[in-house]
Structure 1
Amino acid sequence: MCSPLSLRRRNLLLAMAGSAVLVAACGRKPDAAAQPEEIESATACALDGMLLADYPGPKAQVFYPGEAHPHWFCDTVEMFHALLRPEQLRPVRAVFVQDMARADWERPRGHWFDATTGLYVAGSRRHGSMGPTLASFRAESDAAAFIARHGGKLLRYAEVTPDLADLSGGAMHDSRM
């Protein structure tokens, strides 16, 4: 049987280990070896198999340790869902999103940057592949211009909560599926 001091130490170590996984998943800078890849016609979403090239709005890619290629997400909401839900937590090497000030909203290609440095607009009138999305931007001035035109609220990466990464409803309203 463990003493109360040993139990406290064990619980503290468990809490620290859990925090380390969370930091690895959400706050880590991209691995120098991980470079963003480009969307191809057959690139499919890791969560639902949707072809990224067929849908509008910002896309994302997540690199996990031991895997050479990214897990693709057809929407930034799906990316945050994968990174923020407790049942989804796992170490991450790098996370990239598209700068929607540079990428074409209807057919976004290229313009990848480190998602952890990004700015996100929640609640705008623009929709992505899953319905309401989190528009991603590299520069605050571009995000502010987007808000002036389409509405929404500016958030930094660390301010995005699991509640904002809700996947209910988006695909149900997509007539192209």
Structure 2
Amino acid sequence: MKTVRFALVLVASLLLAACENEQQAETPPPFSLTAEAMGRYCGMNVLEHAGPKGQIILRQIPEAIWFSSARDTVAFTMLPDEPKEIAAIYVSDMGKAASWEKPGAENWIDARKAFFVIGSSLRGGMGAEEAVPFSEEAAARQFVGKNGGEVVKFNDLPENYILGAGGEAADDPAAEGGHDHG
């Protein structure tokens, strides 16, 4: 009887491990940011905007949905009418970015593991408040020391901050980090 029970536990463990490996294998790598990347909500070239970017890859569609800000990327996950079959969420690691104006094309991090700075003085791509992502908490805290704000994890991002009005109007070219599309 002990042998049968041991065999069942062993088989169950192997099946569980196989499922976990299969699930991990399903997470697609991030895409490189190119001039063809158009923002989901603004419909404009993502490279035209300063600050961190984002991309979401759905399970059924093997290409990136691009966002001109990390905040818009997170908003996608909160909005009830957007697809929920998300395979991966990536945001720019601003700790590895050359500058606010050049956040990088390859320095993507899993948004669910990132440290976000909210409430800083810097504005995102469309002149709105930004959720600035970092792979390392120390880099996020250093950013807070220079630009204000607070550090939170993905699951602690306040919905009212992400989905709220976000400060200055998107078409206000005077917004710090904003972009005049006129």
Shorter-normalised TM-score: what interval? 0.7 to 0.9
C-alpha distance in 2 between matches for 1:30 and 1:78: 25
TM-score under structure 2 length normalisation: 0.75
Alignment-mate amino acid for residue 171 of structure 1: A
Name the residue aligned to 2:171.
172
- Pick the aligned partner of 2:145 from 148, 162, 165: 148
Name the residue aligned to 2:97.
103
C-alpha distance in 1 between matches for 2:86 and 2:25: 9
Aligned positions, number: 149
* 1:114-145 CA distance string (max 9 Å, x none): 11000100010111102210110000000000
Name the residue aligned to 1:71.
65
* 1:19-78 CA distance string (max 9 Å, x none): xxxxxxxxxx97644111111112111122121111110000001111111100010111
Q: Does 1:42 align with 2:42?
A: no
Q: Who wins on radius of gyration, i.e. which is larger?
A: 2
Name the residue aligned to 1:159.
156
CA RMSD of aligned residues (A): 1.9
C-alpha distance in 2 between matches for 1:42 and 1:136: 23
- Pick the aligned partner of 2:74 from 74, 80, 104: 80
Alignment-mate amino acid for residue 74 of structure 1: S
Name the residue aligned to 2:14.
none
* Paired residue secondary structure (2:123): strand
Q: 1:44 to 1:143 in 2, by over 3 A?
A: same
* Paired residue secondary structure (1:128): coil
Alignment-mate amino acid for residue 154 of structure 2: Y
| Structure 2, unpaired ranges of 5+ | 1-22, 174-178
* Paired residue secondary structure (1:67): coil
Q: 1:130 to 1:170 in 2, by over 3 A?
A: farther
Name the residue aligned to 2:115.
119
